[in-house]
Structure formats: C-alpha cells, structure tokens
Structure 1
Amino acid sequence: MSHCSLRKCLLIENKEISLVDVTLDFTEGFHIQVENSNDMKVTATIGPQTTDTIAVVRAYEDNWGNPCKVVQFELNQQRLRLSKRSPPIEDQKNLIKQQVLSLEREILKNEQFWRDFSFRNVDSQAIQKKLLELGENANFIDVQFPPQEKSIQEQVKCILNNDCSPSKGLAFDRVIQWRRPKEFMKYDTSKGLLEPHIYSTQNFLNISQGQLSDSWFISAALSLAERPALIERLFVTKLYNELGVYELRLCLNGEWTSVIVDDYFPCLPNGGPIFSKSNDNQLWILLLQKAFAKVSGSYMSLQSGNPSDLFQDLTGSPTLTLNFKENKVQDMYVSGKLWDLLSHFNEEGYLISASQQNDSANVVHAVVQLRDVRGHKLVNVRDPLLLFQWTGDWGETSRLWTKEMLDAVSPNYEVNPNQFWMSFDDFAKYFGTIYVARVRNWDETRVRGRFIRVQDPENQTFEFVQSKWLYSLDVKTKTHLIVTLNQEDEKTKGVLPKRPYLDMGLVVMKADKDEGTQIVLFKEYLVQRNVECELILEPGHYIVLPKTTGCALKRPDHAEIESIKLVDHNRQFTPLFMSTLKDLFLKFDLTANQSIDWKEFSGFLQILGLTLQDELAFKAQILTKFHSSESGLTYQGFIDWWRSQIVAEGEPQLWVWLERLGYDRDLYSVKSRIFSLTFQSRALEGDQPVRVTVRDTAGTEIEPKINEMLLSQFGKEERIQEFYSLVSLQSLGAKTFTYGIRNQKSVDIEATIDMSFSENMSFSSKAQVVKRVIHPGQVAFILHCQAGFGNFNRVIKHSAIEVVQAPTKK
C-alpha cells in the first residue's frame, strides 16, 4: 500500500510468473468509499511480474483529513483474498527465455569441460579443485544429471509417450526453471531466515512436500530426521558452498556409495522449488531428493517406492516390515507379543514408523515413543506432513487425559503440534504397516558376490544357478547376527528391463567335525530387492550360502527382438550399452573398491579369449593408457578400453565378447547377476566380532548338494512310485517349486522330470526335460521352476529306469 494525497491506494506487486486473482472486500468498513466501484468489493487480475493499483479508497467523515485515523480505524476492516493461476505455457517460456538460454550455454560448456573426467572415483573436493580451471566465478553443473527437462522425467519414457513436457498430465502446469539457492531463497535474520545452509540441528522438520507426489519419500526422510545425527551423517559436504558441489553417502544396493550433485533445483519460473523445500532455507531435503532422483534416473521416478527400502538406503541398517494383514502379525497383536516386540525395539533405540491402512501414497508417520502408563498402552506418533488429525481417544481434547495421566505422560500438544497420542489398539486399527530400521553400531562386513549359471559338462539337460562364493563365519562367542542379501534395485537408472529381480533366499549351515554339516536356517525365496535372516549363534563354524532358483536369469519368453545398437549416430555408446558396461564393471570389481586390478582384469580377458603376459604388461598396456588409480583400472578407464576396442576390432567382435560375458543380442543378462551381502552382528557375550572368509565354489557343485539337503529336510514326498518318489519344496512368496527324486532301490536309477507341457512357467534349466542318475537311497535335485504373473499351469511328468552297469572287462 502507499498514500495518494487524502486517499488510500492499494497496490499489489506480483514478483512471480503467475496470474494473481485478487478480491478486496470492504463491506465491513465504515466512513469509506471505493472509487470507480458501485459496491464495496473489488476484483482484479495481476499479470506476471507486474505491479498494479487494485483499489483507491477515500475517507469521508468530518475529520477525514487525518490520514493516520483513516489507516488506524477504517482500512483495517478490509478483507483480502488472493489466488494464483498459471499463465499459458508459452507466456511462461517467453518470460524466462534469456535465463534458460544462458543455462543451456553453460551446460554445453560444462559437457565439454568434464568430458574426460571420471566422476566415479572422486570426491567433492577433487571436483572443487577441478572447477578452478573454469575460472573464478565458475560453479558446478552436474553433466551426469543436468538441470534439464530429461532429469525431471527420463527421456526414454517421455519419447515413448510422445510428449516430453513435464506439464503434461502431471500435478503441476508450470514450465520448470532450474535455479540455485541464492536465486530463490530470501534471508532475513530478523525473521529467522538465515542464509542458505545444509541443515540446522535445531529444526530438521520445517519441510514442505511440493508437487511431486512423493509423500512416501519426504515423510520417510522426515521420520529419519527424528534422529538428526542420522541425517547429518549422510552429508559428506557439511556446509553451503558457492561452487555448488555437494557429496552425499547413501547405502545403495547394500553398499555405501558417494553421490555427487549440484545445487540447481526445479523451480517455478522466477520462483521457488516446485518439489520439496525447506521453509527456513535448509538445503538438506532438496539435496537428498536430488541425489535419489539422480540414482533413479529422474525426479518422476520418486513418485512411488517402498519406505522400508528407503530406510535401508538412508541408514545402512537391517530393516523389518510388519504388515497387519499378515496372519502372523495379527496373532502377535492379539497375544500381546507385538507390543512387547515394539517396546523392545523402542528401548533399543531402533527407528520405528508406520503408514496408514490402504494408503496408496505410503505416507510414513514416525513412532516417537511407546509408553505403558497405568495399564494404558499408548503410542506417540508424529505426522511429518500434517496430513492426519487424530481426534479419538488420547487425542488433544480427549477426556481420558486426567491430571494423573497428564502428569505421567506430559503430552505437551502446544510444543509439538504435529504429534499426537493414541492407544495401541487404535494404532493397530488405523495403521497397516510398521517399518523398523534397526539402527545401532553393528560390527559390519559388506562383500560383493555373483550368481552364475553352471552347465553340467556330462549332462547337457542339467544346469543350475549358484553363488560363485560361499561365506564362512568363525563365531567365537554367542552372537546376534543379521544377514542381508541385496540385489540391484530395479528403480536404479538403466536396470530395467534387462536385469529384473531374481528370486533370492539364504541358507545358513553349521559345520561340525563330529556331526557334519547341518542346515540351521533356510530363508525361503522372495522376489524383492533384499532378503534378511536373523539368528542367535552359539560359538562355532558356520557357512552362509546366497541362493536363487535362477529361473528369471534368462531372456523373457516373449521378448521381442530389438536390434540393439552399441553406438549411436554420434559414435557414442548408447545408454543401454553404458548400463551393460556398468554391470560388467561391478561384476569384475570383486573387492568393491571402484577399480579392477590385474587379477580381476586377467579373469575378464580370459572370458573374452584374450591374454596379457603378466602384471607388468597390465601396467604398461592398460593402466598407462586408460584412466586408472593406484588399485587398478577405474570405471572411466574400463569404458575407454571398450571405446578403443570398438575402433580396433569393430562392433561385430564386441557382440561376440558380450555373448561370452553372458549377454544376449538385446543385452539381457542371462548368465550371471551381481549381489551384495551384509553381515551385521553384535556379541552377546564377550566382545569378539564375527570373522567372515570368502571361499570360491567353482567345481564344487555345492548348489545341487544344498538343494538335496533342503529337499530331504523340508521337502514333501509328493508321489511315491514303485522304486522312487518325487520330492518337492515350495516357496509361496516367490511362486517357486524345487523338485527332486528319491531313489528307493538298491541300484542306480536314471530319473526324468518332464515339464514341457506346463504353461506360463520358467525353469532353472534351458531344457524342460531333465535327466539325472541317482545313487541308491539318495535324493537328487532335478530342477527349479517358477510361475509367471497371472494364471499358470504346472504339469509335471516323471519316470525312472534302472541303470544297467556295463560288465567290467578282465
């Protein structure tokens, strides 16, 4: 507002690229008149980035010449309503055209500058040092996840949809402008608005979700912020910097991984962030959201997800999900064991949260504490996004809050307005899923492994998939152990559709000199990102074997031929080929140290049919020519080696090598798949940690032997014939079936299982008719099968004949 002689002029300045609809209502005022209006209401629309006079109000009482009196007594009666609309898309583009063109020029400049730089093996300090070469005022632009529309939604998906505009069909209708913090953050210390900073330990929770529809992600991150130290440790870069380089450490696919991002964020045109934002100039939620968007390929990929997986990514801790729809969880609730378990978790300091029944958005609420007070089992819940208001028993106005209960609990709703209390019975009624991140200082070992397809050289019908390594545990004292088997997240950019989830399970065995090897635990197969098993181990020697049926380690049955190219029209590797090379690098970086050493590279060359004389030749011909570190060939060097080979050998030869490495002509991974294994333990007596030793399984055929032990111990005798029986083992969660034959005769038999008449089934062997010779009294594993989505028909035919031994020549 501003004075206009003896009148009052009301002006509105619209700094945004928005259309602002304004209504001023003076009907409750007195001794005033609105000029050029027949009534006491004024409506107007203010255009983008303009200032306009909305109304002129004149006072007409006797002493109207006192303008202060006009302001103090009369114009305070006005009522103001504002609403914002989006201008046409083309108008928005025109208003920020120059800024967009300037940023595009900077992106092109940075693409040239960073072309030969390996981001995979460096930290933020190395990038900051490199930036000095660009000049004094240079700032970081992440060319791997550039501030462009393709980072909002993956280019492949929007091309398939024939529309790459982020406004199409989404919850927002704005052109997105990428802006840096000091371009959109207002700082005014008198209002508590500090200059941009990564986080404030006083208040992590002052966050708004924005328009991305990723409430599952934002709410889970805010639940983690109940423990500020857990947020702080994610950020290697602790302070805001003008260079715009930020490094985070996330536990991706079971391995702690550095993720580097810039500080360009998707914003409204000339406005603030359109997605998540802090209301007090903190950057942590914007940086965290951007880091996960980069890993997943786009911001839009964050619109759905599993909170349990996210808690593991953020904490590196084993997680537990309890779903009230499961009979086991319901039984625990009825018996009181669930309350006891959650109370124990609360006392252990584990992070507990929950999402509501039938909430497709998976909004996560933090469970702050559980209290049993005067016979009342109470749960203190925080709603991080202020989307849920509890008005039932033990709510803010509940009559159950007697003076005695108030004194005992101290609910303090005024200090914590987004927290509420409720009974455990109501909690179990309104919340459908509980997530527990078992955060503590575990003794921890993380290793990388690989599932490989093995063909029996003497039996072309029989093949199986087994872990290339087994893991030997030396346990010196009574120990609490959690083992987590992780596979590559399907949400990671470039994974689907070529490397979909396998079913996975775990077997833990105890090896004893007197009693032999016995199975202690079998974690049934599940088709998900990770599987866990939890044990209390007595001192001794144990063996852990990761397992899969391997039925999905193949080209999908009805996959169309795609005529994949390895290079594009610019002679650059295609995104799909780059994703394949990343997969290959991980498979041969056995020690997970971001490089391939001489031994690992020699094994790689051996598969290709190539050789290097020795380690000196490796250093002279490989490490000196391609990007390397002290420990070996880096990812960038590995990519450059392939680039040199496509020039020297040609694309047809590369396809020959890719087939030998286990990829088909459409780059489906059909012979091997990486995984990681995490051992987290704590000694219950003494303080000696578990020692993990990795042993190669090559040539052992340990997989069939373990399957035979599982069939013998847990299998079901399905059909008993005259001198043999069919034994099966089913994992309902993965819809897998394991079959074996028990020889009940005193001579060898050749058993056959024929599943060629089945429909919508996948098998562990390429052949659907498998034969094996079985010795007397033994169970032999024959094959696994797995049902596909939808209806399936499992038809199994089996037979056996005696094996006639050829007479021995004298």
Structure 2
Amino acid sequence: MPPPAVPHGMCLKVMDDRNMKGGMGSATHPLKFMDQDYNSLQDVCLKKRMRFVDEFFPPDPRSIGEGLLEPEVMARVEWIRPMKLYPKAAFIVDTVSRFDFAQGKIGNCWFLASVGALTFQNKLLQKVVPDGQSFRHNYTGLFHFRFWRFGKWYDVVIDDKLPTINRKLIFVKSKTYNEFWPALLEKAYAKVCGSYADMHYGQVSEALMDFTGGVHVHYELKTPPTDLWKIMYRAFQSEVLMGCATPPGNQNEQRLPNGIVLGHAYTVTNVYQVMMGKYPVQLVRLFNPWGRFEWNGDWSDKSPLWNTVSDEDRKQHLQAENGEFWMSMNDFLRTFDNMDICCSCPDFLEEKSACHWISKFHHGSWVPGSTAGGCMNHSDTFFTNPQFWLKINEMDKACEQGQSNVLVSLIQKPDKRNRRNASHHDIGFYVFAVPPEASKISF
C-alpha cells in the first residue's frame, strides 16, 4: 500500500540511540528518580549516623494508597525496618531465585511473574538490583533499584521501612524469613507506580520492559505463529524475559479444577523437548508467582507420562509443590491467553543470522487539532499524524544470508504520576513502503 500524501517537512527522522549508550539515562548512568541521589543521601546518613526516611515515599498510608486495604486494616499497619523484625536480616540469602518469594495482598502477579523471569538473567538482574547492598556494611536504611521507564533508566531510592501487621509483611513475602530483597524491590517499584495500590492489576509486559529497557513482542495464543515453540526455545537460550497470562474468569483469580488460575500472570521458565518413544514432545515450564497451585494435567509433577521418557529427560521432572510445573505446548496454547517476550536484543527472532540489531527511537505525540489525525478511516486528516522515515541501509556481508527484519514497538507514556490514574488511549501505527520516486525527497 503506498503512503498517503504528505506535506513537505511533516515527516520526522528517527533518532539513533547508539550515541546515547553510556550517557545519562543509560543503564550505566541512570537518571535520579525524583532527583534523589543514592550516594549523596548515603554519605549524609553515614556522617550524621542516622537512618534514612524517604520523604517522597513516606512510611504512612499515602504510600499504600487508597482502596487496597480496609480502613480498619490500614489502622493496624506498622512500618518496620527488617533489622527490627529480625536482627539477622539479610538482603539476599545465598542467591536470588524465583522460589524466594510469594505474592502478598496486592494483585501484582504481573509484576512478580516478571521478577521470576528476571532471576534467570544475571546481567539484567544486576542492572535492576545493584550489587553491594546489605544490612551490615555501611547500613543506613537506604536501598536503591533501577528501572527503565519509557526510554531511560532511573535509579530509585527507598528507605527500608516495610508495611506490616502483627510484625508480618503485608505484601510480597520471602519464603526465607530473614531475606528482604523481594519486599524492597516491590517497594521501589511501588514508588515508581505512585503507591502499592497503583500496582493492583496490570500486564506482565509492563514490568518486563521496565526490567530490560528492550523490545517487546506480544503473541495472542489463539492465533499463534506456527513456529512459536521454536521462537520460545531460541528466546530461552538468549537473554530474554518471558511471561504469559490466562484468560479472565467469572471472578478474580478463579482457580480451575486443572490447577490453573484465571486472570493470572505466570513466568515462562524453560522450553524443552523430550522424546516419548520415537515421538518428540514440545514442553513449556511455567511458574505461578503465588509459589503454589500448579497445573495437574499431562506432564505435571505427578503425571505418569514422565515414566515414558529417557532417564536424561526425566531429570527435568518436577516433584515439589513450589508453583512451577511443565505442560505440553498444545496444552499451553489451549490454556493461556497471551504471552510476552522482552529482551535487550531480538536475536532470537532469526534462527541463523550473524548480523546485529541496531536500535533507534523517537519521542512524539498526538496533539488534538494538530497531529492527531485518526486512523485511515479519516482520509482527510490521516496524513497529519506524526510520521517517521526509516531507511534500511545495505546489509553487512555477514548478514546477506539472513533477513532484513525490522521490529517496531510503540509505547505510551503516562500522563499522571499515579499509574492507576493514567489515561490509556487506543494507539497504533501503520508501516508503508516508500516508492522509489519519493525516496529522493530530503527532510
């Protein structure tokens, strides 16, 4: 389809982010969220021998938010530092694992499913959870985490006062009583969202992108590509995060007889093929961020089908009630509604290719009466929408055998400080091939 007529000067050149790598807002030099500098605050607390209290996310009902807890419950909340709860409190016990935590009194399974995926990728994990934090060396009650937000990385500081009732954490809980990285990570993300209540309900893709700063690929499982399992398998071999969600139920988080919870997010933790006799079976391993309630059908923990595979394949068999389970790809497609893959680089999309992806970005907006031209049904105004020219240069010789793929991702920046108050508009884009006669136009 040819592009619509465009007035000269209306198109915008796409920006290249290669020159920004290492600059402010990058993973190595993140911006200071709410202008709070971790090192400066740490120095002040050490010199004054004081414990940090965050004025921008204070330990009071404002940070929990409205509607999440009943008033009588809110009145019982006490904010306590981990060292007051347990003198042997630790930021991380042994290693970080998806089995470290279980969901609390917020409907933020979308966030915790993403955290479960993050625990598999050490490089990404170290970006989000900076090293060197503890309750022992230079402890001031100050912690920090990093998230990617709409094009830039931010360093987010928090104090370690956590909301409790009867000295028990209200929200995400660690299965190891004295481990606190999950609760502190959740608190930092709640600060970014505006409050704990602002984390109630969401899409797994949101947190996946905030943990990677990468591209996002979404699949509707009712109409999946024929090679989706192969895509997932290649993705698992790369540095990617994968999550999925079940269809909504008649009631919130309804549990089915087969063990699956409706309206719930899960982590994709492995993609594997076993041989059942002479026949290959494609499997997917999933994790419920509740830390319990598993699929009980074919290839589940107690399925006799594991007795039909080789000893080597049987090593993948799970027997613990920990929220993680296997199922066949066919059952996965029948059971789940959609899935998301998010990564720093989408190499997994091509089976064999020596070329490297180049990322570019541009910030734009739809302005009523100016650049909001509507969809193609509005032929008189469609051309006024923001437009971007993308030129694909000649490929490197190493890439000649591959495909000249282009992946376009569109994200919407919030217009409100609190996540749940942000407007969500139906947005989209069209991709047009520019005819040769138009390629000589200069902008």
1:356 paired residue among 230, 241, 246 = 246
1:146 paired residue number? 58
**Cα deviation per residue 1:42-80 (whole Å; 9 max; x = unaligned)?**
xxxxxxxxxxxxxxxxxxxxxxxxxxxxxxxxxxxxxxx
- Report the counterpart of residue 448 of structure 1 in structure 2: 363
2:128 corresponds, among 234, 248, 262, to 234
- Does the 8 Å CA contact 1:268/1:274 hold for their aligned counterparts? yes
Q: Which residue does the alignment assign to 1:274?
A: 170
- In the TM superposition, what are the counterparts of 1:130-529 in structure 2 within 5 Å? 130-131=44-45, 136-154=48-66, 166-168=69-71, 175-187=76-88, 195-198=89-92, 200-201=94-95, 203-236=97-130, 238-240=132-134, 241-269=138-166, 271-280=167-176, 281-324=178-221, 326=222, 328-329=223-224, 332=225, 336-358=226-248, 360=253, 361-373=263-275, 374-402=279-307, 404-414=309-319, 418-440=323-345, 443-453=358-368, 466=384, 470=388, 473=391, 475-477=393-395, 479-489=404-414, 492-493=417-418, 496=421, 500-509=423-432, 514-517=436-439
Measure, in 1, the Cα distance between the counterparts of 2:125 and 2:438: 47
- Which one scores higher on RCO, CA 8 angstroms, separation ≥ 6? 2
Structure 2 vs 1, CA of residues 288 and 357 (structure 1 numbering), >3 Å: closer, same or farther?
same
Contact kept? 2:273, 2:280, Cα under 8 Å = no
1:596-653 superposed Cα distances (whole Å, 9 cap, x missing partner): xxxxxxxxxxxxxxxxxxxxxxxxxxxxxxxxxxxxxxxxxxxxxxxxxxxxxxxxxx
1:403 & 1:495 partners in 2: Cα distance? 49
1:201 touches 1:228 (CA, 8 Å); kept in 2?
no
The TM-score, its normalising length taken from structure 2, stands at 0.71
Judged with a 3 Å threshold, the aligned counterparts in structure 2 of structure 1 residues 174 and 235 are, in CA distance, closer, same or farther, namely same
Measure the CA separation in 1 of the matches of 2:69 and 2:320.
40
TM-score after normalising by structure 1: 0.41
Residue pair 1:235, 1:247 contacting (<8 A) in 2 also: yes
Structure 2: which 5+ runs fail to align? 1-31, 254-262, 347-356, 372-379
Partners of 2:301 and 2:319 within 8 A in 1: no
The verdict on how the C-alpha distance between 1:310 and 1:392 changes in structure 2, with shifts beyond 3 A counting, is same
* Distance of 1:454 and 1:397 partners within structure 2: 61
SS of the residue 1:314 aligns to = helix
For the Cα contact (< 8 Å) 2:102–2:291, is it kept in 1?
A: no
Distance 1:515 1:309 in 2: 41
CA–CA separation in structure 2 for the residues paired with 1:358 and 1:405: 37
State the aligned residue count.
368
Change in 2 beyond 3 A, CA 1:226/1:491 = farther
Deviation per CA, 1:210-241: give whole Å up to 9, x if none: 22333332233223223343322102464125
- The 3 A distance-change label for structure 1 pair 338 and 463 is closer
Native 8 Å contact 1:350 1:438 kept in 2:
yes
Distance 1:379 1:472 in 2: 37
How many Å separate the matches in 2 of 1:403 and 1:494?
A: 49
Amino acid at match of 1:387: R
1:592-607 pair list within 5 angstroms:
none
- Secondary structure of the corresponding residue to residue 369 of structure 1: strand
Look up the match of 1:129.
Answer: 43
CA distance in 1, matches of 2:441, 2:187: 42
Task: For 1:750-765, list aligned pairs within 5 A.
Answer: none
Q: CA deviation at 1:181?
A: 1.4
1:180 partner letter = R
Q: 1:472 to 1:303 in 2, by over 3 A?
A: same
Q: Is the 8 A contact 2:297 2:303 kept in 1?
A: yes
8 Å CA contact 1:474–1:542 kept in 2: the answer is no
Query: How far did 1:414 drift?
Result: 4.6
SS in 2 for 1:435: strand
For the residue of structure 2 that corresponds to 1:178, the secondary structure is strand
Which whole-Å deviations, capped at 9, do the CAs of 1:534-579 have from their partners, x for residues lacking one? xxxxxxx999xxxxxxxxxxxxxxxxxxxxxxxxxxxxxxxxxxxx
Q: Which one has a larger percent strand, Structure 1 or Structure 2?
A: 1
Secondary structure, in 3 states, of the residue corresponding to 1:301?
helix
**SS at structure 1 position matched to 2:283:** strand
Q: Distance in 2 between matches of 1:130 and 1:464?
A: 55
Tell me the amino acid that sits aligned with residue 257 of structure 1. Answer: Y
Counterparts of 1:8-27 in structure 2, within 5 Å, are none
Report the CA distance between 1:404 and its aligned residue.
4.0
What are the residue-to-residue correspondences of 1:540-579 with 2, within 5 Å? none
Cα distance, 1:267–1:352 mapped onto 2, change above 3 Å: same
Distance 1:484 1:344 in 2: 20
Amino acid at match of 2:437: E
Q: 1:310 is paired with a residue of what secondary structure?
A: helix
Distance 2:93 2:142 in 1: 16
The answer to whether the 8 Å contact 1:355/1:434 transfers is: yes
Give distance in 1, aligned partners of 2:341 and 2:53. Answer: 37
